């Protein structure tokens, strides 16, 4: 397999062994398609050391490093999520005890606050033949069912269901500390285009908001979804004590390979959506930035904006959807990370934890049955990267109403 000459520039030492995430450990046919692509395409040479840097400390685990590298090369997505989280822990002001092999991250935060994080993804079938096309509604139903199934699997590991000898709840470094599930959707190519609608269904039993008409912003309740076999699956697992062992959920749709691409600075087209909100009394008279309705603008060469604004009680809410060159796009590692707190948790997560400004926090008010989401203005909702070609630029502009088809 052809490899970038840049691969040798980033090596980590483990005793006398050099640990390189991108040194193939399998024959080519056993390597994951994504792994083969990024190693063989010279355009990604600057991305590889970014990903390698995310592994700092993670590859120091005795008996675990070789296994992790092999999983990264053969299954890719779950390892990418762990690599993203590993770097995120540092950006959250936390350290990880790598001497513990499970759960995935035994964390110490500011003020020596300790908690545990178990990572999981909803992945797609390994081959294209097993992947089925579906409508948007089918995608949402299937995606939500996969998310809740993966969360339940991790809850069972915690509880010791099915005779697990050493459930997480029995470990001394887990007992008495918050237990968090960190989950990301990789179950479909469409997963990269979703925001938090599906996880809202799973955790809070809330349907996607109405986007048009007099009921704009209204969200219905969803009690359950039906599996292909006809069995109902209850939604809203944080609206009761059924998952009381889980203190919180970390969620992101942008903690992906695309995050590394953005951080590397290579030339790409980026489509991103950011949440916008402001109190009405803070809007300057005549402000175009907060003008109600939809505005489509070209801000410069390869820099396009669709701005949506609507009234929402005492606020003006909306979204900014950018299509621009990667050199114009700004994104931190924590941008797009969302945290959902379980109001029924046996061990609640510390409400005074100093979250960085770009992290979006989500609460559930038990009395009013409302989703409380004090997301910061400018919170990243979704982001995708594309090759910097005229073809992709045209497709992106047409799909966002910026260019006639």
Closest residue by Cα to residue 225 from 151, 146, 152: 146
Q: Say what the pLDDT of residue 62 is.
A: 79
Q: Give the model confidence (pLDDT) of 210-220 as tens digits.
A: 766 777 667 78
DSSP state of 330: -
Q: For the ranges 73-87, 177-191, 334-348, which has the lowest average pLDDT?
A: 177-191
Length of the chain: 405
Residue range 10-65, pLDDT digits in tens: 343 444 344 899 999 999 989 999 999 999 999 999 999 999 999 999 998 877 88
Beta strands in 187-230 (DSSP E): 224-226
Using one digit for the tens of pLDDT, what is the confidence trace for 277-292? 999 999 999 999 999 9
In the chain, domain spans? 76-258, 269-325+378-405
Give the chain's mean pLDDT: 89
pLDDT tens-place string over residues 311-354: 988 999 999 999 999 999 999 999 999 999 999 999 999 999 99
Beta bridge partners of 276: 318
pTM beyond 0.85: the answer is yes
pLDDT digits (tens, 9 = 90+) for 260-276: 999 999 999 999 999 99
pLDDT of res. 208: 78
State the Cα–Cα distance between residues 76 and 250, nearest whole angstrom: 20
pLDDT average, residue stretch 136-149: 89
The confidence score (pLDDT) of residue 190 equals 62
pLDDT at 137: 80
Does residue 384 contact residue 395 with C-beta atoms inside 8 Å?
no
For residue 1, the model assigns a pLDDT of 42
Cis omega before residue 103 (within 30°)? yes
Who's near 8: CB < 8 A, 6+ residues apart? 20
Question: How many of the other CB atoms lie within 10 Å of CB of 61?
Answer: 17
Q: Where are the beta strands (DSSP E) in 132-187?
A: 179-186
Strand order in 380-386's β-sheet? 293-300, 303-312, 315-325, 269-279, 380-386
Mean per-residue pLDDT, 123-146: 72
**CA-based max dimension of the chain:** 67
pLDDT given at position 263:
97
Helix axes 77-91 and 65-74, enclosed angle (nearest 10): 120
Concatenating the DSSP letter of every residue in 291-319 gives -SEEEEEEEETTEEEEEEEEEETTEEEEE
Tokens of 66: 């070789």
CA distance 232 to 141: 12
């Amino acid at each position: 397999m052809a490899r970038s000459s840049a691969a040798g520039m980033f090596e980590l030492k483990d005793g006398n062994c050099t640990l390189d995430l991108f040194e193939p450990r399998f024959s080519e046919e056993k390597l994951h398609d994504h792994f083969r692509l990024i190693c063989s395409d010279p355009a990604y040479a600057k991305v590889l050391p970014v990903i390698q840097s995310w592994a700092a400390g993670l590859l120091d685990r005795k008996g675990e490093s070789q296994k992790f590298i092999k999983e990264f090369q053969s299954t890719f997505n779950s390892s990418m999520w762990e690599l993203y989280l590993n770097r995120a822990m540092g950006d959250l002001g936390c350290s990880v005890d790598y001497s513990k092999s499970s759960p995935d991250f035994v964390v110490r935060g500011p003020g020596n606050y300790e908690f545990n994080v178990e990572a999981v993804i909803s992945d797609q079938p390994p081959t294209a033949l097993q992947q089925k096309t579906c409508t948007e509604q089918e995608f949402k139903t299937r995606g939500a069912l996969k998310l809740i199934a993966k969360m339940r699997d991790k809850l069972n590991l915690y509880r010791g269901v099915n005779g697990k000898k050493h459930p997480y709840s029995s470990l001394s470094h887990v007992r008495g500390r918050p237990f968090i599930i960190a989950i990301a959707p990789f179950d479909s190519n469409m997963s990269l285009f979703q925001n938090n609608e599906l996880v809202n269904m799973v955790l809070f039993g809330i349907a996607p908001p109405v986007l048009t008409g007099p009921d704009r912003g209204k969200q219905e309740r969803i009690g359950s979804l039906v599996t292909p076999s006809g069995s109902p699956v209850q939604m809203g697992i944080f609206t009761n004590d059924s998952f009381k062992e889980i203190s919180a959920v970390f969620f992101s749709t942008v903690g992906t390979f695309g995050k590394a691409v953005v951080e590397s600075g290579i030339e790409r087209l980026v489509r991103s959506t950011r949440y916008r909100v402001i109190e009405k009394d803070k809007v300057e008279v005549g402000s175009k930035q907060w003008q109600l309705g939809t505005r489509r603008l070209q801000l410069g060469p390869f820099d396009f904006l669709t701005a949506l604004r609507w009234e929402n009680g005492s606020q003006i809410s909306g979204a900014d959807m950018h299509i621009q060159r990667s050199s114009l796009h700004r994104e931190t590692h924590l941008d797009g990370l969302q945290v959902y707190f379980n109001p029924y948790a046996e061990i609640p997560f510390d409400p005074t934890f100093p979250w960085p400004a770009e992290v979006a926090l989500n609460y559930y008010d038990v009395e009013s049955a409302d989703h409380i989401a004090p997301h910061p203005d400018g919170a990243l909702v979704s982001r995708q990267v594309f090759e910097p070609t005229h073809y992709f630029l045209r497709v992106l502009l047409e799909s966002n109403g910026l260019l006639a088809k």
